[in-house]
Amino acid sequence: MPQSIIMQKSIKFPEQLPIETNEFNTGSESQSFKTTLKTLGSTEYTEEDLKKYQVIHPIGDSFTGKGYLEDGTAHDIVAISANETFNIAKSEDNFLYFWGSKKAIIEHGVKRLIDGTVGHGNKQFNSEAITIDLRKLKEELEANDNAAIKGGWWRDMQIADVEVAYLGGGTVTASKNWSSYEESQGIISALRLDVPNPIEPQGDILSVLVTKDGNIVVYKKVDEKNLFDIAMPLFSIAKKHLI
């Protein structure tokens, strides 16, 4: 099962926790939501002290309708909701790492934290999405043998009839097509990498995806420590190539 971890830049972070956002209504007067941010301690990552937090993010779909029980009785249904949770880690150099749920849930929760803590003074939360220059990241990874480049997604190329392209293979960056895409000033939107396996150093390598908006996807179910063991060295290099 793939797992995702997203890096953003911390702009403001609450001095006191827990905090709750303002209430957000779903369109039904009977239901509104608050997102909560609370402290958990530190992550399991041992190479760096990363403070760990949890976001409790209720979501729902507002609707009206009828529900029927087995005895045939009808009941009004107004809305359904569920509490989603995900984690945040904060580094001393003011970067945030989000993991523990789907990317769409994390993005929705972060937006509510930003929008819902306006006017909370020192308790205000704000973060900023990043953009990685994956061309420069690729060059450093190859120069230092940090990872093997196994594929890349390209867009906005100045090549007739080619808007989006994927190149993959063992020596993909040495291919003629890769060179022509770079010369076309195309943008690399994602890189597929093979990286060392922290779980089984003598075992199979791991496949990961790095996107230009700071999302690392690990194509294997791993625990928290190993997720950070895989992602943090890549994030550390990526920080040097932010646009």
pLDDT score of 116: 87
Name the burial class of residue 242, with classes exposed (0-12), middle (13-18) and buried (19+) by CB atoms within 10 angstroms of its CB: middle
**Domains of the chain: total:** 2
Instruction: Provide the pLDDT for residue 38.
Output: 97
Residue 113 lies in domain: 3-128
- DSSP string of 19-68, one letter each residue: EEPPPEE-S-TT-EE--EEEEEEE-S-SSS--EEEEEEEEEEEEEEEEEE
pLDDT digit string (tens) for 137-146?
999 998 998 8
Given a contact cutoff of 8 angstroms between Cβ atoms, the answer to whether 191 and 137 are in contact is yes
Does residue 110 share a domain with residue 8?
yes
Q: Count Cα neighbours of 93 within 13 Å in the Cβ-side half-sphere.
A: 7
Same domain, 123 and 138: no
Note whether 211 and 124 are same-domain residues. Answer: no
pLDDT value at residue 81: 66
- pLDDT of 161 reads 54
Q: Are residues 8 and 106 in the same domain?
A: yes
Residue 35 · residue 22 · CB < 8 Å: no
Domain boundary residue, one of 98, 128, 158: 128
Residue finishing a domain among 80, 102, 128: 128
Considering the domain architecture, whether residues 182 and 235 belong to the same structural domain is answered as yes
Structure token digits, residue 196: 């060392």
Residues 157 and 72 both lie in one domain: no
On whether both 76 and 149 belong to a single domain, the answer is no
State the pLDDT at residue 101.
95
150, 123: one domain:
no
107 and 8: one domain? yes
pTM (2 d.p.): 0.84
Same domain membership, residue 176 and residue 162 = yes
The answer to whether residues 64 and 141 belong to one domain is no
Residues 61 and 98 in one domain: yes
Q: What is the pLDDT of residue 157?
A: 59
Q: Which of 112, 128, 144 is the last residue of a domain?
A: 128
Ranges in the chain, pLDDT < 50: 160
